[in-house]
Every structure is written in C-alpha cells, then in structure tokens.
Amino acid sequence: YEGQPDVEIGAAVHSVRAVPPEQMPLVAEFSRRHAAPLHAHVSEQRAENAACVEMYAATPVRLLHEHGVLGPRSTAVHATHLTDVDVELLAQSGTAVCMCPTTERDLADGIGPARELADRGAAITLGSDSHAVVDLFEEARAVELDQRLASGRRGHWSAADLLSAATCAGHISLGFPDAGLLVPGAWADLVSVRLDSVRTAGAAGLEAVVFAATAADVHSVVSGGRRVVTAGRHVLGDAGALLSEAIKALR
C-alpha cells in the first residue's frame, strides 16, 4: 500500500508496558524522519499508571515526554487517568488525544478529562480501540454523555465540536491535514446521513446527526472521490456477511 495517496505509514510506541524506554527514541526518530504519525496507548488504566510510577518514578505521559515521543505528529490514545502535569505536557507538546469512550465504558476504565485537555489546547480525536462498538457517532456523543454522568451537568461539548473531533481533527492526527472538511481543494470525503429513520425522524440539523444517528443511518459514503457506500450498502456487497466470512477463515 505504500505510495498510495490515501495510505499513511505510521509508527507506534504501543504502551509503556510494551516498549522499554530506551527503545522509544528509535520509534520517535522514525516518525520525525518520515513525517509519519505516531501513537501510543497512554494511561488507560490506573494499574498501568501505578506500575509505571513504581518502575520509572514517572507517569506514562511524563515517561513518553522524557523520551521524545510527544509532539505535533503524536496521538495519545485513551488518556483516561491524567495528572494536571500530564494534561499540560500533552497540550503544550501539541500531542493529539484520541478518546475511546465505548472501550473505556466496556472495560470499566473510567472517563477521561477530554474537556480539560481541550481547554488547555489539545486536539481531541475519536477512536474505538475495540469491536465492542464500531460506530463513530456513538464515540462522538459518548464524550459528552459520559461527562454528563460524571459531572451531573449537560453542555460540555457542542455538536460542532464533536463533529470536528470525528472528522478534521482525526484526519490531521493521522497525517491528512487536507481531509475531513468541506473546503475547495480538500479530499472528496463525503458522508450523507438519513434524517428519516426511526432514530432521526422529526429531528433536524447537526445535533440530530451527532446525538441521535448511528452507523445504520449512513446512506452514502464517498472516499477520495470514490463511492464506497450507496443507499446504505457497501460496493463490495453485504459488509456483515463479508466480515463474518473473513473472521471464520481466521479461526
């Protein structure tokens, strides 16, 4: 796939549990040399933080910072349990933060400080990190809805903010700064959503899409000018059946 315009080769320091600190600079240097995106799973669980502090006398964020992993091409995935210093290090380094709320919910990991990170200047993006739920609409609204449960208040995130996290902010973190937005010269990446389904009927506007729609409401998808989904059906055929066959072949 190398050389394809819609493929970006990236790098990863999977986590502080998986990669020794002395090897982290090698991965970071690859990212810098090739202008490649870099990601790491960071502070997903309290036990991870405790083990890191015991071993290195530093939080995972600080350890990554000390070994050159943080920066504008980097993304910290999860970032659920952060100190105030961690938040500042991520924000000041220009590191994006990928919130994975359905995974944190499924694993009972907790609710990350997305609002605090954004307020300090960190770009918030979205991911799933698992197959418990595969629906970017759910990931987007979960950032707001989970925070409501934790705080007892509504209105932490606007629909526009959450849409940005799901689109242009995520594309930038993956190395596609000219994608995920509707402006002249950007990639022709387009998604249309039905507003007449049982979930969206009677609603209108961006709020209906972000807070009510699901992946089942996607009507069409165009990726890089190529039509991928038409009338809710993938061009390759029944996506569920194809996925089932692919998984069966691996067992």
Instruction: Answer whether CATH 3.20.20.140 is correct for domain 11-180.
Output: yes
Q: What is the pLDDT of residue 109?
A: 96
**CATH classification for the domain delimited by 188-251, as one of 3.10.180.10, 2.30.40.10, 1.10.150.120, 2.40.37.10:** 2.30.40.10
pLDDT per residue as tens digits for the range 133-143: 889 999 999 99
Q: What is the pLDDT of residue 75?
A: 98
Q: What is the pLDDT of residue 135?
A: 95
Nearest alpha-carbon partner for 39 in 79, 2, 80: 79
Domains of the chain, residue spans:
11-180, 188-251
Neighbours of 59 (CB within 10 A): 23
Left (φ > 0), alpha (ψ -120 to 50) or beta: where does 196 sit?
alpha
pLDDT per residue as tens digits for the range 92-101: 999 999 999 9
> Which residues of the chain are modeled with pLDDT < 50?
none
Helices 159-166/136-151 angle, 10° precision: 130
